[in-house]
Chain A
Amino acid sequence: MADELVLLDFWPSPFGMRVRIALAEKGIKHEYREEDLRNKSALLLQMNPVHKKIPVLIHNGKPVCESLIQVQYIDEVWHDQAPLLPSDPYQRAIARFWADFVDKKIYELGRKIWTTKGEEQEAGKKEFIECLKLLEGELGDKPYFGGENLGYVDVVLVPFYSWFLAYEKCGNFSIEAECPKLIAWAKRCLQKESVSKSLPDQEKVYGFVLQLKKIFGIE
């Protein structure tokens, strides 16, 4: 019986991008459905009644929600192709720790940068760069967080790269100047088709952020 896989997503969502990359890495056929978040589909509300958010992965009619959980699910079900999590339990735990770190910090700090000004924004920028530097430390000399190949932490973090231009323009700073290693890593990831096809253009995301700022009256 052929697997039926539907991904409910929204093009600028870094969380959605994670799932897109995981599916592409493993060559998994699926249907992509774009949601209008101001007018959520009945299917989305039915499949994710608790949070009503994207991405939602629907596998043979059964929903899986929350991007980190979805990526792990994909890795466990399609375990033969392009494994994302390491096989050693301690290495897996380290990967999960860093994914959790990205989730706790990067999205919120990035959001702070494009939605605030003045002291609050400065504090956000400072902490954001500190977090990126910690991640650079974890990367070390490896080509990817996963080692020789793209792994779980790469998939979890690289989507935010598509938002970097927006953060830089709104925050008036250069991420590359502070974290050149991380930018080099992101560009290396983008050379993979699974990543380049899953991430929107940085200019497009910046345009979207400007629109949001207008809608929410943020200067």
Chain B
Amino acid sequence: MAEEVKLFGMWASPFSRRVELALKLKGIPYEYIEEDLSNKSPSLLKYNPIHKKVPLLVHKEKPLAESLVILEYLDETWKNNPILPQDPYERAMARFWAKFIDEKLLPTAAKVSHSTGKEQEQGVEEVHQQLKILENELKGKEFFAGQSIGYLDIVAHVLFWFYSAGEASGVNALTTEKFPIIYEWIEKLIKIDAVNECRIPKEKHQDFIRLRRESLKSASK
């Protein structure tokens, strides 16, 4: 039944890894297809003509794009190991923080990763502010979702990406000293098998980011 679910993804994409993590946590068998984003497959373009991006989930030939949309679909279709809270207000809060991560934190982090000098400094300031706000949500809890890992942890696990990105771009915005609670949470996460299976390989990732920075630098000359 593994052919029922296909995931088109990319190893360095935190959005793609997110969906993989959800699939593993829910024990959903799937076929993974690695996409070369510089040479997108005809299948990807056929199934996701509007955005042409990964991750792309195909379930029984029906395609779905956008990681957050996919996560909710997985939770509604496979009811075991629920990842979203049951209470409507709790769900609204989980969705709010997911949006904050995707629309504020990640773009700022990308800016830090791809810039230098003053622009990078400003980016780091902004990231610090945003991380502080996010860290508040962890206070007094084991995970963002409460006692066990859930939707917001899956969405937020892109913070792992900050490690590699930090070293490769010469500045680590996420340090233990500044964000002890986030670090504690990361320590808990990596004890979970499914999380470890979805981690972006550190060195490969650092090389990837360094290459990106180089190409951006030469593009702007």
Contact = CB atoms under 8 A, between A and B. Distances in A.
A62 interface: yes
Contacts, number: 55
A92 interface: yes
Contact of B92 (A50, A69, A90): A69
A77 B89 CA distance: 9
**A-B pairs with lowest CB-CB distance, top 3:** A89-B76, A93-B73, A76-B88
Interface residues of B, number: 22
B88 A73 contact: yes
A96 B57 CA distance: 15
A206 to B, nearest CB: 29
Given A69-B99, A89-B77, A100-B66, A64 B92 contact: yes
A194 interface: no
A134 interface: yes
A7 to B, nearest CB: 15
A96 B133 CA distance: 27
A77 B69 contact: no
Contacts of B65: 97
A65 to B, nearest CB: 6
Contact of B96 (A65, A76, A89, A92): A65
Interface of A: 50, 59, 62, 64-66, 69-70, 72-73, 76-77, 89-90, 92-94, 96-97, 100-101, 134
Interface of B: 50, 59, 62, 64-66, 68-70, 72-73, 76-77, 88-89, 91-92, 95-96, 99-100, 133
A94 B63 CA distance: 9
B92 A134 contact: no
A93 B92 contact: no
Contact of A50 (B62, B72, B77, B100): B100
6 contacts: A59-B89, A69-B95, A72-B95, A76-B88, A90-B77, A97-B64
A100 B69 contact: yes
Contacts of A96: 66, 69, 72
Contacts of A90: 59, 62, 64, 73, 77
A90 B69 CA distance: 10
Contact of B76 (A50, A62, A92): A92
Nearest to B91: A76
A156 to B, nearest CB: 14
Contacts of B100: 50
A69 B96 CA distance: 7
A157 to B, nearest CB: 15
